[in-house]
Amino acid sequence: MLPQPNLSPKAIKSQLESEFTVQGPTMSKANSVASSRGISLDVYAVSLALVLALLVRLNLIPPIKW
Amino acid sequence: MATIAISASRPTSIGRRIIALIPGLLLLAAVGYAGKFIEQSIAAYTKSHHITFPNIEYVLWAIVLGLLIANTTGVPQVFQPGVATYEFWLKAGIVLLGSRFLLGDVLHLGGISLLLVAVALTLSLTFMHVLGRSFKLKPKLTSLLAIGSAICGVSAIIAAKPSIDADDEDASYAIAAILALGAISLFTFPLIGHSLHLSDKAYGLWAGLAVDNTAEATAAGALYSDAAGKVAVLAKTTRNALIEFVVLAYAIYWASRGEAQVIGNKAAFLWRKFPKFVLGFLLISLLATLGFFTKPQLTSLANLSRWAFLLTFAGVGLRTNLRELGKQGWRPFAVGAIGEVFIALVTLGLVYGADRSLHL
């Protein structure tokens, strides 16, 4: 499900294969799979940030301290 | 920076996937918070004992703690799913950081960044290709290293890999080289910045232009100062926004040589590769400029962004395996290292010039 912390070429290769791309004869499909997942991460992150901003704007969560 | 994925490689339910993230998220929070605790404890101790001691930001402590764990006991499998979410927190944090910029600042600094990025990009890509040829690296490995070092590290390599039909092995080497160099820059950039007495803006701009991975660029900026961290994120975000154009150019080049698939709809390709969090950052910045948030609300958003970065910095340390980085082939690393030094020097010169002529 998730990338290995190991940074050996073998480990990264397996990460690339399992999560980003599946290189081979179906290149366009591979591209779209990789891209759609990349977009998902960005979209999820942006969505979370916007929801949090909205909650803060509507005072639905207490002031966040650091 | 390794990219995370909320993967669908195995048919697991969403609930199980979310549960699998919890241990790692708790570890990120614990390491990040420990870094913050150490910073505050040292500050309190030195203050109460009237000791003059430079403030070492939680950023450094979180990364060092993460590095210690990852390179001694290792990160057990159960924590890895959650730890791998650190890039997600980085992107969410960057979007929230938009609240700390008025759109005018973004346009001013972003415009300067764009100009400097364009110059640095051209020089970097040219230099990396000359270097790759001199070291007899495979052309596609050279392309990946050039894209990674000129634009935005691992994300750019991952975006470019399928587009230019590069080997997995080449992508692995390029990623490893970029990650190793990112780790080194974390510790060297602040030292160089301090020794040159760079202003927060100049240093932040330099870190954002020269450090490849967004997480490392953010950390390198924050290690210098809070203000420098802000500018570093903005400069890096500007750089990230160019990723799709560079990847498209490489894809067309390799397709013209018959070694990658021909790109059909170029507009769709550009949109697919465009980092969407840049739009989120601009949207929040626009809302802040229009007065959508009150001052206390802006403070809350800024603090939320800092909490998100705290998780990111812990993840940077926890995901860096120094032994494995050391095992990589020396040639890609050498090309990457020489290229990085070149890029760092060029961007430093550019920032110096811009600081004098454009009064950053």
Give CB contacts under 8 A, 24+ apart, made by B118-121.
Answer: B119/B350, B120/B150, B120/B209, B120/B210, B120/B343, B120/B346, B120/B347, B120/B350, B121/B150, B121/B151, B121/B242, B121/B246
Q: Is B239 on the interface with A (CB under 8 A)?
A: no
Question: From CA B11, how far away is CA B7, in angstroms rounded?
Answer: 9
- Minimal C-alpha gap between B211 and chain A (Å): 19
Residue B96: its pLDDT value, please? 94
Number of domains present in the structure of chain B: 1
CB contact under 8 A, A12 and B4: no
Which residues of chain A make contact with B176, given a CB cutoff of 8 A? Answer: 7-9, 12
Residue B200: its pLDDT value, please? 92
- Minimal C-alpha gap between B268 and chain A (Å): 11
Is residue B64 situated within a structural domain? no
Residue B10: its pLDDT value, please? 53
DSSP A4: -
Q: Which domain holds residue B207?
A: 87-358
Q: Which of helix, strand or coil describes residue A46?
A: helix
CA distance to B17, B191, B231, B302, B310, per residue, from B226 (Å): 35, 16, 9, 11, 13
- Which portions of chain B are predicted below pLDDT 70? 1-11, 168-169, 172, 325-329, 359-360
Residue A23: its pLDDT value, please? 29
With tokens 């993460």, the residue in question is B66
Residue A3: its pLDDT value, please? 36
Is residue B340 situated within a structural domain? yes
Which residues of chain A make contact with B84, given a CB cutoff of 8 A? Answer: 2-3
Cα B119 versus chain centre, distance: 20
CB contact under 8 A, B92 and A48: yes
pTM score above 0.80: no
Which residues of chain B make contact with A23, given a CB cutoff of 8 A? Answer: 161-162, 165, 168
Residue in B20, B158, B176 closest to A20 by CB: B158
pLDDT band at A19 (very low <50, low <70, confident <90, very high): very low
* Residue B357 or residue A6, greater confidence: B357
- Minimal C-alpha gap between A51 and chain B (Å): 10
Question: From CA B108, how far away is CA B58, in angstroms rounded?
Answer: 30
The answer to whether the beta carbons of residues B100 and B286 sit under 8 Å apart is: no
Is residue B39 situated within a structural domain? no
% of residues, chain A, pLDDT over 90: 35
Residue B41: its pLDDT value, please? 94
SS3 letters for chain B?
A: CCCCCCCCCCCCCHHHHHHHHHHHHHHHHHHHHHHHHHHHHHHHHHHHCCCCCCCCCHHHHHHHHHHHHHHCCCCCHHHHHHHCCHHHHHHHHHHHHHHHCCHHHHHHHHHHHHHHHHHHHHHHHHHHHHHHHHCCCCHHHHHHHHHHHHCCHHHHHHHHHHHCCCCHHHHHHHHHHHHHHHHHHHHHHHHHHHHCCCCHHHHHHHHHHHCCCHHHHHHHHHHHCHHHHHHHHHHHHHHHCCHHHHHHHHHHHHHHCCCCCCCCCHHHHHHHHCCCHHHHHHHHHHHHHCCCCCHHHHHHHHHHHHHHHHHHHHHHHHCCCHHHHHCCCHHHHHHHHHHHHHHHHHHHHHHHHHHHHHCC
CB contact under 8 A, A52 and B12: no
Per domain, the residue ranges of chain A are 9-57
Q: Is the pLDDT of residue A29 over 60?
A: no
CB contact under 8 A, B299 and A63: yes
CB contact under 8 A, B96 and A57: no
Q: List the 283-322 stretch of B: residues with Cβ below 8 A of A.
A: 283-284, 287, 292-293, 296-297, 299-301, 303-304, 306-307, 318-321
Q: Is the pLDDT of residue A20 over 70?
A: no
Question: From CA B251, how far away is CA B242, in angstroms rounded?
Answer: 14
Residue B360: its pLDDT value, please? 67
Question: From CA B305, how far away is CA B280, in angstroms rounded?
Answer: 13
Residue B151: its pLDDT value, please? 76
Residue A26: its pLDDT value, please? 27
Is residue B9 situated within a structural domain? no
Angle value at C-alpha B117, between B114 and B121, nearest 5 degrees: 140
Dig out the tokens for B107 from the structure: 């346009």
Residue B20: its pLDDT value, please? 94
Residue B87: its pLDDT value, please? 86
- Minimal C-alpha gap between B314 and chain A (Å): 13
- Identify which of A33-37, A40-44, A47-51, B167-171 has the greatest average pLDDT: A47-51
Residue B68: its pLDDT value, please? 93
